[in-house]
Amino acid sequence: MEIVLAESLGFCMGVKRAVDMAYKALEKSDGQQIVTLGPLIHNTQEIDRLKKDGIEEADYDAIPANSTVIIRAHGVAPQAYQDLKSRGLKVMDGTCPYVHYSQRKARELHEEGYTVVIAGDKSHPEIVGILGYIDNQAYVVKTLEDARALPFLERVGTIAQTTISPWKYRAIIDILREKSAEVKVCETICDATEENQKAVRELSGEVDLLYVIGGRHSANSNKLVEAAREKCPRAMLIETADEIDLRDLEGVSRVGISAGASTPDWMIQTVVLMLRELDSTRSAAG
Ligand code: SF4
């Protein structure tokens, strides 16, 4: 049985970078405690691994003294960053470069006198962080209805949450154009999750069965399964290698693998190893 990995799968660059940063900090820690400000990633198994290795998650108000704090990929408001430093903590900034770009763009728009409109969810940590760069002086619109409800604005500058759908951002911009004299658009959507989607679509037409490795509640993993099923009806979601059922592999000569944006490489490897093992057991029996 041939095992084929999608060309793009698993961790996005931003999350990978933050996790690597945490492990580098641990290596150099000299006994100091390493904590992450909130969960570094939405994957239970990876969070357990981090904990086991000594990288704990902490709330903003409960960070142990003298520890090293890793800012996760979503970023934080500059005030929060300064506050952590003034508490004498060592701060390592794992903010994704794409999110840094959004923060910079928001500040530029604000300084140039535009009314900033952010397409996204105002309770999402990424947006909370961006708002901190412009003293919360922005409208945040989550839906097209929110955009329609805005007053007439003279000069508007737009930012999008990095993970919103490009379609939705376009639709919000169109609404703003109808009610504003000038709209300056900043392209801040990240295509990391789109790349995984594109790759799974390509692979799904070439395999008999396809496993997407990811959390049951992970929206992007479920979207990968949906995309794969267009051409491969036998695409399915698994959280761990233990869920692979030998009966599913009957008659399968090519199996594809994809993984959600919060699935670490080591979990992908475990699935590959399990499939190899099951395949050799099957060959030996047959
Ligand atoms: S902006 Fe993109 S690359 Fe960065 S953390 Fe978010 S999804 Fe990952």
Read off the pLDDT of residues 166-210 as tens digits, 9 standing for 90 and up.
889 999 999 999 999 999 999 999 988 789 999 999 999 999 999
Contact, 212 vs 200, CB < 8 A? yes
What's this model's pTM, rounded to 2 decimal places?
0.84
Return d(Cα 129, Cα 77) in angstroms, integer: 4
* Per-residue model confidence (pLDDT) at position 286: 67
12 CA to middle of ligand 1, Å? Answer: 6
Q: Does the beta carbon of 8 sit less than 6 angstroms from any atom of ligand 1? A: no
Return d(Cα 124, Cα 126) in angstroms, integer: 5
Query: Which SS3 state, helix, strand or coil, does residue 249 take?
Result: helix
Contact, 259 vs 266, CB < 8 A? no
Dihedral sign for Cα atoms in the order 241, 12, 71, 24: positive
**How many percent of the chain have pLDDT more than 70?**
100
**Packing angle of the helix pair 44-52, 13-27 (nearest 10 deg):** 10
- Radius of gyration, CA atoms only, the chain: 22
Which CA distances in Å does 15 have to 23, 54, 194? 13, 18, 15
Q: Which residue has the tokens 């009966």?
A: 247
* Per-residue model confidence (pLDDT) at position 123: 93
Which tens digit of pLDDT belongs to each residue from 73-107? 999 999 999 999 999 999 999 999 999 999 999 99
* Per-residue model confidence (pLDDT) at position 218: 79
* Per-residue model confidence (pLDDT) at position 115: 98
88 CA to middle of ligand 1, Å? Answer: 29
Residue 28 pLDDT > 70, yes or no?
yes
Kindly report the average pLDDT of the chain as a whole number: 94
Angle made by CA atoms 118, 261, 54, in degrees to the nearest 5? 105
Which of 226, 206, 195, 213 minimizes the C-alpha distance to 260?
213
14 CA to middle of ligand 1, Å? Answer: 5
What lies within 8 Å, CB to CB, of 252 at 6+ separation is 1, 208, 209
Q: What is the mean pLDDT of residues 264-275?
A: 96
* Per-residue model confidence (pLDDT) at position 283: 79
Q: 3 forms bridges with which residues in the sheet?
A: 255
Residue 48 pLDDT > 90, yes or no?
yes
264 or 165: which leads in pLDDT? 264
Indicate if 13-96 has the same CATH topology as 2-9+192-285.
no
Q: Does the beta carbon of 260 sit less than 6 angstroms from any atom of ligand 1? A: no
Annotated catalytic residue, options 2, 112, 126, 239: 126
* Per-residue model confidence (pLDDT) at position 177: 97
Which tens digit of pLDDT belongs to each residue from 119-146? 999 999 999 999 999 999 999 999 999 9
| Strand positions, DSSP E, the chain | 2-5, 34-37, 55-58, 68-71, 90-93, 115-119, 138-141, 153-160, 180-185, 209-213, 235-238, 254-259
Q: Does the beta carbon of 19 sit less than 6 angstroms from any atom of ligand 1? A: no
Return d(Cα 60, Cα 84) in angstroms, integer: 9
Check: CATH 3.40.1010.20 for 98-185? Answer: yes
State which H helix or E strand residue 144 sits in: helix 144-148
Q: Which fold has domain 2-9+192-285?
A: Cobalt-precorrin-4 Transmethylase; domain 1 (3.40.1010)
Protein residue with least CA distance to atom 3, ligand 1: 14
Q: Does the beta carbon of 15 sit less than 6 angstroms from any atom of ligand 1? A: yes
Domain limits of the chain? 2-9+192-285, 13-96, 98-185
Amino acid code (one letter) for 90 = K
16 CA to middle of ligand 1, Å? Answer: 9
Annotated catalytic residue 2: no
Contact, 223 vs 200, CB < 8 A? no
Return d(Cα 55, Cα 94) in angstroms, integer: 14
169 CA to middle of ligand 1, Å? Answer: 17
Protein residue with least CA distance to atom 5, ligand 1: 14
Of 8, 11, 13, which is best to mutate to test ligand 1, by the most ligand atoms within 8 angstroms of its C-beta? 13
Q: Which CATH architecture has domain 13-96?
A: 3-Layer(aba) Sandwich (3.40)
Return d(Cα 64, Cα 72) in angstroms, integer: 17
DSSP structural state of residue 119 = E
Q: Does the beta carbon of 162 sit less than 6 angstroms from any atom of ligand 1? A: yes
Query: Which SS3 state, helix, strand or coil, does residue 78 take?
Result: helix
Q: What is the mean pLDDT of residues 28-42?
A: 90
